[in-house]
Amino acid sequence: MKALLALFVLAFATLPALAAGELRPFPQHTVYTAGTIRPAAKTQAELDGAVVTFYRVWKAKYLRSTGDGQRYVFCNAENTFEPKTTHSVSEGHGYGMLAAVLMAGADPEAQADFDGMYRFFRAHLVENRRDLMAWRQVLRGNQIAEGRNDRDSATDGDLDIACALLMADRQWGSRGEINYRKEALKVIAAILALEADPQRHTLTLGSWVDAESPQWGGVRPSDFMPAHLKSFAAASGDSAWIQSTDTTYGILKDLAAGYSPKTGLLPDFIQYKQGAYLPAPPRFLESRNDGCYSYNACRVPWRLGTDYLLTGDPRARALLEPLNAWIFRETGGDPAKINAGYRLDGKRLGKDDSAAFTGPLAVAAMIDPARPEWLNALWADLLERKPDHETYYGNTVKLLTLIVVSGNWWQPF
């Protein structure tokens, strides 16, 4: 593993810092791991065109300007957040920065959008000003600012922001107004200092968690973005990211084997209790479904699937194979029957649907060449979903997973 890390660092360090201008413009047509598939019902040009079309819809609906050179993703367009004055969350900001850097080339405003989002991020840091983003911004009078209890961080947003900055360095170079690589390394270091557990070698839920918190030791599986962590190891030269990757893959493997061997489903939150990891109880942090496959864990197939597509990590495949087989059986191969939430044994949580569940499952389906018709159906279902019938969350996860499934996601090293 040390030798592999050394090669990553060497590869990263020897790439030139080039001037502005897209170096990895959309479409990239990334060569994914051998044996993986893309929707076979469409040509590559049709896949690319569908992504560009939806990106334009998404951008018009959600990307906002503050009027002073800053831009942000408006997460409350559908009035689903409380308080109603909520305008931005760090999770969505990370998504927006990823989308802009990945769509550069197709969108001539991508760098300006990205830089505006970077400036908004820098203007809304956590209370101790340590290069992490405050998790929520609200409208106070004519100003967008943090509320009284909003100055802590949420790990997932910071991870995506850091990765997007690394990608920006690969997309536009770092000799312009913003040194993307330098800023990425600052965020990466802050995540390790304030959002990681050095004893257990895992990520925490945010900068607010410490040894006195009831949630100390808890893990949000959807925060596990192994492809990101491998990029952080390459960029920083710090093996702690490899340790975190190995530890978290082990935790998820044991949890799936113990609690969901027939479904492969993982919970929104994992609790550390008496030396063991187990599904979190209701109201551990957010809702009665904290120990279920719900609106956090729905992103896990996207994150693990992306790691397998880009790095071929067999641990990702091993976790996704039972899930792929189960969801295909559960729905009879009909994506319209995917429910927005399940208990770990596969029992449905109410009756709902969302692209936030369908999109990540489409990414997972790419590892299964035996069921190309399932991936075709998932892709078609995603495109048929009307943007006005989804929230910011469903539409944004849909956009990012469409980029992956079309073959246009890439690693920044």
- Catalytic status, residue 384: no
Question: Residue 247, exposed/middle/buried by CB under 10 A (0-12, 13-18, 19+)?
Answer: middle
* CA 398, chain centre distance (Å): 11
**What is the SS3 assignment for 404?**
helix
178: nearest Cα among 130, 93, 120: 120
- Catalytic status, residue 78: no
- Residue pair 382/357 in contact (Cβ under 8 Å)? The answer is no
Max CA distance (Å), the chain: 56
Distance CA 396, CA 409 (A): 15
H or E stretch at 117: helix 110-123
Distance CA 87, CA 72 (A): 9
Place of tokens 């109410």: 350
Catalytic residue among 48, 91, 290, 368: 91
Distance CA 375, CA 231 (A): 28
Buried b (16+ CB within 10 A) or exposed e, 41-74: ebeeeebbebbeebbeebbebbbbebeeebbbbb
Distance CA 195, CA 207 (A): 5
Catalytic residue among 113, 150, 156, 307: 156
Question: Residue 148, exposed/middle/buried by CB under 10 A (0-12, 13-18, 19+)?
Answer: exposed
Pairing of strands 63-65, 71-73: antiparallel
Collect contacts of 77-81 with beta carbons under 8 A, ≥24 apart. Answer: 77/392, 78/391, 78/392, 80/391, 80/392, 80/393
Which active-site residues does the annotation give?
A: 91, 156
